[in-house]
């Protein structure tokens, strides 16, 4: 994996490259995002990634789902302000709102990401 910026921050500009290095399986979702939007709209991509994580979890592709969730957790902990905000607002804030976003799925998240749910799943 390519190192983060010298200060250890995952920047908005590095997000997609680092994501695809960590979880190449989400490349179709990323490609569709750019096809639809012509640019990186990080909040929309986060919602797409949440749906991808849910799909992977329920398809039993747990190793891939966990790499994706761990990457999102890293983005929360080491992202610049734009990345951190996108994770909080567009990945975590409404997680659990849809039936597929089950307590078991949310419990698969790392502790730091679960804590953002408001006390854990």
> 17-59 pLDDT, tens per residue?
999 999 999 999 999 999 999 999 999 999 999 999 999 999 9
Q: Where are the domains of the chain?
A: 12-115
- 46, with CB counted inside 10 A (0-12, 13-18, 19+), is buried
pLDDT at 110: 95
- CA torsion sign, 32 to 34 to 40 to 44? negative
pLDDT at 100: 92
The whole-number average pLDDT for the span 85-92 is 95
pLDDT at 118: 72
Distances (CA, A) of 31 to 25, 51, 74: 11, 15, 22
CB contact at 8 A, 82 and 12: yes
pLDDT band at residue 11 under the 50/70/90 scheme: very high
CB contact at 8 A, 69 and 113: yes
pLDDT at 120: 43
Q: From CA 101, how far away is CA 61, in angstroms rounded?
A: 15
pLDDT band at residue 7 under the 50/70/90 scheme: low
């Amino acid at each position: 994996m390519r190192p983060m910026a010298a200060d250890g921050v995952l920047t908005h500009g590095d997000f997609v490259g680092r994501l695809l290095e960590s979880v190449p399986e989400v490349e179709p979702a990323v490609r569709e995002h750019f096809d639809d939007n012509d640019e990186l709209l990080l909040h929309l991509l986060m919602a797409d990634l949440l749906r991808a994580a849910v799909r992977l979890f329920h398809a039993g592709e747990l190793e891939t789902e966990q790499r994706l969730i761990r990457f999102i957790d890293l983005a929360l902990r080491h992202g610049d302000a734009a990345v951190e905000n996108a994770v909080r607002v567009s990945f975590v804030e409404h997680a659990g709102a849809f039936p597929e976003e089950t307590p078991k799925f949310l419990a698969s998240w790392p502790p730091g990401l679960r804590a953002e749910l408001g006390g854990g799943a």
